[in-house]
Amino acid sequence: MSMIHVTTTVNGDEVEFLCDPRETLLDVLRDRLALTGAKEGCGTGDCGACSVTVDDRLVCSCLMLGAEAEGKSIGTIEGMANGEELHPLQEKFIEYAALQCGVCTPGVLVATEALLKKNPDPTETEVRYWLAGNLCRCTGYDKIIRAVLDTAADLRKAS
Amino acid sequence: MAPDGNMTNGFKVVGTRPKRPDGVDKVTGRAKFGADAAAPGMLHASIVRSPHAHAKILKIDTSKAEALKGVKAVVTRADFAEGLTGENWNILENVMAGDTALYDGHAVAAVAATTALAARDAAKLIEVEYEPLPHVTDVDKAMAADAPVIRAGAADKSVPEGMHPNVVRYHESGHGDVDKGFAEADLVIEESFKTEATHQGYIEPHACLAQLGPDGKGEVWCCTQGHFNVQKVCAALVGTETSQLRVTPSEIGGGFGGKTVVFIEPVALALSRKANRPVKLVMSRSEVFRATGPTASTSMDIKIGMTREGKITAAQGVFRLQGGAFPGAPMEFTAMCAFAPYALENVHQIGYDVMSNRPKQAAYRAPGSPMAAFAVESVIDELCNKLDLDPIEVRLKNASKEGTKASYGPKFERIGLVETLEAARAHPHLTAPLAEGQGRGISCGFWFNHGGETAVSLALSEDGTVAISVGTPDIGGSRASMGQMAAEELGIPYENIRTTVADTATLGYNEISHGSRVTYASGLATIKAARDAVKKLCARAAAKWGIDEEAVVWEDGCAKPSGPNAGEFEPLPLAKIARSMGRTGGPIVGHYEATPEGAGVSFATHIVDAEVDKETGQTKVVRYTVVQDAGKAIHPTYVEGQFQGGAAQGIGWALNEEYIYGEDGRLQNSGFLDYRIPVASDLPMIDTVIVEVPNPGHPYGVRGVGETSICPPLAAIANAVSNAAGVRLTELPMSPPRILKALNDQANG
């Protein structure tokens, strides 16, 4: 099968790749661009571990084809910190132990950043429903929800 | 303090909440999990699995797959070691079927190709001819006289005569005279319970990267709870020498017991040997559900007698556990944990390990105990309701204490059940008002905890920093707690220590990270390794000062003369001794290798409020409090995390999660959409209370905390739901259809 040539932007950098038409965006990120921060937990859009943004919209990268990235702007967990400066969400997740095994963490952080861009002052219920598509099996979500709410409060104070 | 003594207060680092050393890697996406590794020339593999619950494998034709472009190797059972016996034979039989497929999802062949897509295409071209056989997936049906035999001759000598061949192990324990005890009771309740199988549900599927050369030397990178076990099992299954195989554990994306088992690594090694190239093998989520985990499903009969004053006079339980197509369902743990919270004069328990056409059950967080607690604590709740007694007071009245003869035999040492019950009684949750439609439930839970083979080494660097190597994969933040314990002993900052989970070539054999053993056993070994290093540091100081080694003590990170008689010398800090160690005798490394046996058992008490919608049968957990004895919480935040995680998994098990098999014996819900684990919007915040009753078997009093937290939830939630719905729920999960059925049955008398 012939490969498709794709030009796209990932975390602000222009990238080109060739991919099989059947490859998902997640396959391309992980196997062709060596960006393994997004994880495949299910491959069916149920767990959110592969969350990325495409033109600022939160998507499961396992549900989108690599070829569909043409001309788009992709954001992944690898682009979240600014150089050596962690994003406030990343800082707070470490401080609150809002992660245990850490395999869902990249997806949770990408999803949360997208939430706070849309809604800088979410209620606990809003955070819980927004993150309902990101499965975590270790934490019971308690410390994640607290970390998100407190980061949002910090960011509101800072702005 | 004495260098070998115990210490339960006056800590400087232990009990604080420093940042985890793997934090930055995990929030930036840099942390490397099982599927994140790659190697030059790497192939991708795919496994062909049986679509039948039970079938004879007549023929496997691999020719079309082998002819596909990019395919480099195909393996079947013929490519693995022959002549294995005992557990190794069982593991191989599960890793790759022999002449019979024993469950839906059983591996029958595998292929490696240059791309993952080519491997998947090739797997579809492997033609397997099956002759379907009768199957059984339910535990009670598997024990019935007419059940198909999964494997004749699988039973061991413990099984009484006349049992069906699917009953492969039998357990009986207890003490006293239960008949006499029941005669003394004012009320005896007898009830039967069932629980469905659940999956550990770790978000990271099993994954490995393996290389095995024609010289018999190999490398494995994989996500596992026990890489030394992977090494040992793989060497046996592919027929190479253990020490020629080096296994490096990746970060592990959740395990909960499910990654104590070897599934794919031997397959990747066999493919690699055939192709002489590295092979990566990653399971899909559907494969994880169909072929790994799950827990045993159960069928249980409980009988408990109580006086009007709330004293339990006798307790009896029969526990039947279905563990899939292999022996090993943890029925003895179920039986032994069932009545452990209570000091009983008359207690008797029986366990049956039953085979069926399901995947081989795997450990899941306190394997066997949560189901037992569900059944026993439901009956105790019912007795309290009928006798109009307070459920906490009744449990306090009967609680096991130091010196109690446990229901499973030994005498308890110092334990903290009473303290958890008292803390629960004092918690505001217990007296908070309930809204319409809500019910409250409480339950106790018990787990043994474990020690196991452990080796740790602790090496000093010239600049006074320290590298700890442990052999137990970090499944709950243990690298942080090891660093804290070493910092405490050495008297240096936590930040000056880095803990690494070392590969199999670096340390002696370390048992799997299971049994809530890591903070206890690797922690104890880290403390002892640090004390070994301190002894060596003191010896260097003594040599420098020209005094006896015994005349040097270690305080606040410095060697000091032990009193005025030892002479007047400036204290020597660790960094100063380390700087010159090359000239004063060479590297300083502390070691500890042992099988510690002082793991302290632990207890918990949970309080739950649940709201039941009687129209839809839907249940919502509205408030949850965990009270558990941690012995000593090294890093309280991670202890809270374990408490909360166990409670959340218990909520899923109690209310929603279950393996659903069709009439055809195939798993019908092998994905997260249909096997729904709790999501953020399903749960409330989960309050925690850490009780600390020190374990005399650990220098700082540590007890394992990871597993006990999943023991009470099933029962506590069942009690809350039953109290809210006004009808006793006896089957898990308490999904809407089951709750509606219970309500209907009650309404229809």
Number of structural domains in chain A? 2
| Dihedral angle of Cα B65, B68, B72, B73, to the nearest 10 degrees | 0
- Segment B20-47 mean pLDDT: 98
pLDDT the model gives residue B3: 45
- Mean pLDDT score of chain B, rounded to an integer? 97
Residues from chain B that touch A139, judged by Cβ atoms under 8 A, are 641, 644-645, 648
Between CA B187 and CA B193 the distance in angstroms is 19
- Segment B190-211 mean pLDDT: 98
Contacts of B83 (CB under 8 A, 6+ apart): none
Q: Quick one: B550 and B622 in the same domain?
A: no
Comparing CB atoms, the residue among B29, B476, B641 nearest residue A37 is: B29
CB contact under 8 A, B28 and A35: no
Domain boundary (A57, A79, A101) is at: A79
Residues from chain B that touch A95, judged by Cβ atoms under 8 A, are 19
Comparing CB atoms, the residue among B27, B203, B648 nearest residue A41 is: B203
Give the model confidence (pLDDT) of B582-626 as tens digits. Answer: 999 999 999 999 999 999 999 999 999 999 999 999 999 999 999
Q: Quick one: B474 and B436 in the same domain?
A: no
Q: Quick one: A55 and A18 in the same domain?
A: yes
Q: Which residue of A has its CA nearest to B641?
A: A139
Contact B373, B339 (CB under 8 A): no
CATH number for B438: 3.30.365.10
pLDDT the model gives residue B7: 77
pLDDT surpassing 80 at residue B427: yes
Q: Quick one: B581 and B659 in the same domain?
A: no
Comparing CB atoms, the residue among A47, A94, A143 nearest residue B203 is: A47
Q: Quick one: A74 and A125 in the same domain?
A: no
Q: Quick one: B439 and B488 in the same domain?
A: no
Residues from chain B that touch A86, judged by Cβ atoms under 8 A, are 24, 27-28
Give the model confidence (pLDDT) of B633-686 as tens digits. Answer: 999 999 999 999 999 999 999 999 999 999 999 999 999 999 999 999 999 999
Q: Which domain holds residue B646?
A: 426-445+601-747
pLDDT the model gives residue B4: 58
Task: Say whether residue B42 is in contact with chain A using an 8 A CB cutoff.
Answer: no
Q: Quick one: A19 and A70 in the same domain?
A: yes
pLDDT surpassing 90 at residue B9: no
Domain boundary (B536, B559, B594) is at: B594
Residue of B28, B622, B685 to mutate for A, most A C-beta atoms under 10 A: B28
Q: Residue B4 burial (CB < 10 Å; 0-12/13-18/19+)?
A: exposed
Residues from chain B that touch A101, judged by Cβ atoms under 8 A, are 202-204, 251-255, 475
Q: Which residue of B has its CA nearest to A146?
A: B685
Interface A-B: count of C-beta contacts within 8 A: 182
Task: Say whether residue B473 is in contact with chain A using an 8 A CB cutoff.
Answer: no
In a domain, B651, yes or no: yes
Q: Which domain holds residue A71?
A: 4-79
Q: Quick one: A74 and A92 in the same domain?
A: no
β-strands B167-175, B347-354 pairing:
antiparallel
Q: Quick one: A21 and A46 in the same domain?
A: yes
Q: Quick one: A25 and A75 in the same domain?
A: yes
Q: Quick one: A73 and A9 in the same domain?
A: yes
Q: Quick one: A121 and A149 in the same domain?
A: yes
CA distance B687 to chain A (A): 9
Nearest Cα residue to B353 out of B84, B522, B163? B163
Between CA B411 and CA B146 the distance in angstroms is 43
In a domain, B343, yes or no: no
How does residue B1 score in pLDDT terms, banded at 50, 70 and 90? very low
pLDDT the model gives residue B726: 96
Q: What is the 3-state secondary structure (H, E, C) of B433-454?
A: CCCCCEEEEEEEEEECCCCCCE
CB contact under 8 A, B253 and A35: no
Question: What is the number of other CB atoms lying within 10 angstroms of the CB of residue B73?
Answer: 21
Q: Quick one: A93 and A137 in the same domain?
A: yes
CB contact under 8 A, A93 and B27: yes
pLDDT surpassing 90 at residue B8: no
Residues from chain B that touch A102, judged by Cβ atoms under 8 A, are 22, 25-27, 31, 251, 253
Note whether ipTM > 0.90 here: yes
Give the model confidence (pLDDT) of A4-54 as tens digits. Answer: 999 999 999 999 999 999 999 999 999 999 999 999 999 999 999 999 999
Give the model confidence (pLDDT) of A124-144 as tens digits. Answer: 999 999 999 999 999 999 999
Q: Quick one: B465 and B437 in the same domain?
A: no
How does residue A159 score in pLDDT terms, banded at 50, 70 and 90? confident
Number of structural domains in chain B? 2
Comparing CB atoms, the residue among A81, A127, A139 nearest residue B644 is: A139
pLDDT surpassing 50 at residue B457: yes
- DSSP assignment, residue B240? -
CB contact under 8 A, B680 and A81: no
Burial A121-156 (b: 16+ CB within 10 A, else e): ebeeebbbebbbbbbbbbbbbbbbbbbbbebbeeee
Task: Say whether residue B132 is in contact with chain A using an 8 A CB cutoff.
Answer: no
Q: Quick one: B618 and B585 in the same domain?
A: no
CB contact under 8 A, A94 and B20: yes
Give the CA distances from residue A26 to residues A74, B30, B278, in Å, rounded to whole numbers and listed in that order: 11, 16, 22
Q: Quick one: A92 and A75 in the same domain?
A: no
pLDDT surpassing 80 at residue B394: yes
- Segment B709-719 mean pLDDT: 98
User: pTM for the complete prediction?
Assistant: 0.98
In chain B, % of residues over pLDDT 70 = 99
> Both tokens of residue B506?
């670096």
pLDDT the model gives residue B749: 79
Give the model confidence (pLDDT) of B87-112 as tens digits. Answer: 999 999 999 999 999 999 999 999 99
CB contact under 8 A, A86 and B251: no
Give the model confidence (pLDDT) of B217-261 as tens digits. Answer: 999 999 999 999 999 999 999 999 999 999 999 999 999 999 999
Domain boundary (B571, B594, B617) is at: B594
pLDDT surpassing 70 at residue A1: no
